[in-house]
Structure 1
Amino acid sequence: MSDKKAQTRERILQAAASAMLQGGPQEPGVADVMGAAGLTVGGFYAHFASKDALMLEVFEQLLRKRRELMAQVDRTLPGVERRALAAGFYLSRKHRDSTRSGCPLPSSLGALPQLPDAYQTILAEHLELMSAEMSENPEEADKALADLVLMVGGLALARALGPCDLSDRVLRAAKSAVI
């Protein structure tokens, strides 16, 4: 792939990621994504077979970035401390209010049952990998999974409420339940 084509593809992926974070994988049309990338619709199919192919790649990419961030946490810390650190970031105002980066799950979960099965496969893999990363041993993995569920639900509710006192309380409550 040429350097210019790779750069163009990356612009499309970034525009699609931003759209997914704001409205989920079904929301943006190809024209919306291409317009946000500063490109015309005609060039889309030189990079992706379909909108589903694009959004599926973006979904996987955004979840992988979440795991890469978690992998930066000191592995010598006990699992409960790694989860507390993750909750501190994940359930923050900054993460709630971010429209350019973050976790795609709060904006995507409701749409997943209507999308191709590959989305559920990627989600299941992500949850398994994250719960393993956030636990010290297989016995603790279910507690880590429960904490992940709590964090995603807390962030989804906080984002739905928008920046307000109740939203801040939701973030604090979910964070305190993880710790």
Structure 2
Amino acid sequence: MNDKKAQTRERILSAASVALIKRGPAEPSVGEVMGAAGLTVGGFYAHFESKDALMLEAFKQLLGHRRELIAEIKNELPAEERRALLAAFYLSRKHRDNAEQGCPLPSSVGELTRLPEGFRDALAEHLELMMAQLAARPEESEKVLADMALMVGGLALARALGPCELSDRVLRAAKSAIL
């Protein structure tokens, strides 16, 4: 793939990622994504075979980026401290209100059953990799999984409520259940 085509593909993926975080993988249209990338719909199929293929690649890329961010948390810290730092960030107002760079899971998980199997496979792989990243011992994996479920659910509720006192309370309650 030549440089220009690769750059254009990355612009499309970037626009798809923003749309996916805001509204999930099913709702954004090809026209919306291409327009946000500054391109016309006519060029879409030179880069992706379908909207689902585009959104799946964006979903996988976003999940991989989340794991990279978590890998930056100091490994020398005990596993519980690493999870507490993650929860403190994940369940923060800043993360709730970050419509362009936040976690894609709160806007996506409800749609995955209606999308091609690859989306569920990507989520399952992400959860397994996250458990491996965050559990110091295999017996901690269930606690890590419960923490992840609480964080995603808490953030989804907080984002649905928008910035208000109840939303802040949801974030605090979820965080206190983890810490």
TM-score category (smaller protein):
over 0.9
Alignment correspondent of 1:104: 104
Corresponding position: 1:59 with 2:59:
yes
The equivalent residue for 1:20 is: 20
CA distance in 2, matches of 1:86, 1:32: 32
What amino acid maps onto 2:115 in structure 1? L
TM alignment of 1:72-87, pairs within 5 A? 72-87=72-87
Question: What is the CA–CA distance in structure 2 between the aligned matches of 1:128 and 1:76, rounded to whole Å?
Answer: 21
Contact 1:70–1:86 (CA<8 Å) still a contact in 2? yes
> Helix, strand or coil for the counterpart of 2:22?
helix
Contact 1:132 1:144 in 2 (8 A): no
Q: Determine the C-alpha separation between the residues in 2 that align with 1:46 and 1:19.
A: 20
Deviation at 1:76, TM superposition (A): 1.6
2: CA distance, partners of 1:80 / 1:141: 12
Tell me the distance in 2 between the aligned counterparts of 1:145 and 1:78. Answer: 17
Report deviation, 1:75: 1.3
CA distance in 2, matches of 1:158, 1:173: 11
CA deviations 1:41-92 (Å, max 9, x no partner) are 0000010011000000000000111100110111121111111000011111
Aligned residues: 179
TM-score normalised by L of structure 2: 0.98
Which residue does 1:134 correspond to in 2?
134
Residue by residue, what CA displacement relative to the aligned partner does 1:128-169 show, whole Å, maximum 9, x if unpaired? 111121111101111011001100000000000000000011
Q: Which amino acid is the alignment partner of residue 174 of structure 1?
A: A
Deviation of 1:94 (Å): 0.8
In the other structure, the counterpart of 2:37 is: 37
Classify the secondary structure of the residue corresponding to 1:25.
Answer: coil
Tell me if structure 2 keeps the 8 A contact 1:62–1:102.
no
Structure 2 stretches of 5 or more lacking a match? none
- Displacement after TM superposition at 1:9 (Å): 0.7
User: Which residue identity lines up with residue 92 of structure 1 in the other structure?
Assistant: S
Q: Which residue is equivalent to 2:164?
A: 164
Percent of aligned pairs sharing the same letter: 69
C-alpha contact (below 8 Å) 1:157/1:167 kept by paired residues: yes
CA RMSD of aligned residues (A): 0.7
Structure 1: tracts of 5 or more residues without a match: none
CA distance in 1, matches of 2:105, 2:99: 13
Q: Where do 4+ consecutive residues of structure 1 move more than 2 Å?
A: none
Q: Equivalents in 1 of 2:33, 2:18: separation in Å? A: 9
Q: Distance in 2 between matches of 1:141 and 1:76?
A: 19
SS of equivalent to 1:77? coil
